[in-house]
Structure 1
Amino acid sequence: MNMHMLTELAEKGEIRELELLSLEGGFYIARVRLEHTELTLLDDHAKPMRIGSTTHLRDLLQRVPPFPCVLVQHCVHDEMCGTREGPIGALRIPFSLEASF
């Protein structure tokens, strides 16, 4: 999914949620959840778009109608140490695309 397609889907109200996934190396990628599928936001070279922060994402989407967003951070320490029993879920923090001051 490119920015043009994301904008069109947002205008139609078809985006259920955007997950901003934190990855090793200090950057993020965006996964867009629709009714029956999930798509990765791609750059002009059809590669996953590298996003630097929630502020960077807000700048990219400033002209796009708002939709629900969540920052997803996996806890590598828990996965490595295995201190908890049962499945380990990611930390999910909702945030808004509106500028915060």
Structure 2
Amino acid sequence: MVGREWTLNLQALIERAESGEVRELELLSLNGGFYLARVRLDNGQFALLNDTTKPVRLRSINHLREMLRHAPPFPCALVHQCTHDEMCGSREGPIGSLRIPFSLAEPW
């Protein structure tokens, strides 16, 4: 990789996975029932973008699995923010997101 790239498309993600550079993919659950992918490499975090440099909107974990069916496996986590705690203030201290590890190779 030349310099510090802040964009990552599907082909680049597969290439990085093949070379063992992908540390983790976070599938971020957003309001509206869609997901965005954020990829962590050694040199930073990158949003998964389409060919027009817009974030790839995913419908589900299975949609992601289908897109990455030819990629070697790497760690993945579904990330869901806990908005109830933020709105209601039911806990003290930092409020972390819910992180659920999943595999690209195996269904739930």
Q: Which amino acid aligns with 1:80?
A: M
The residue that corresponds to 2:4 in the other structure is none
Q: Secondary structure at the match of 2:49?
A: coil
- Distance (whole Å) between structure 2 residues aligned to residue 20 and residue 57 of structure 1: 9
Q: Which amino acid aligns with 2:99?
A: R
TM-score by length of 1: 0.97
1:30 equivalent in alignment to 2:28: no
- Percent identical among aligned pairs is 61
1:99 offset after TM fit, Å? 3.7
1:93 equivalent in alignment to 2:100: yes
- Distance (whole Å) between structure 1 residues aligned to residue 33 and residue 107 of structure 2: 21
**Please, which runs of 5 or more residues in structure 2 have no aligned partner?**
1-7
Q: CA RMSD in A?
A: 1.0
Q: Secondary structure at the match of 2:63?
A: helix
Higher strand share: 2
1:100 offset after TM fit, Å? 2.1
Q: Secondary structure at the match of 1:83?
A: coil
Q: Secondary structure at the match of 1:13?
A: coil
TM-score by length of 2: 0.91
The residue that corresponds to 1:21 in the other structure is 28
- Distance (whole Å) between structure 2 residues aligned to residue 77 and residue 21 of structure 1: 17
**Please, which runs of 5 or more residues in structure 1 have no aligned partner?**
none
1:75 equivalent in alignment to 2:82: yes
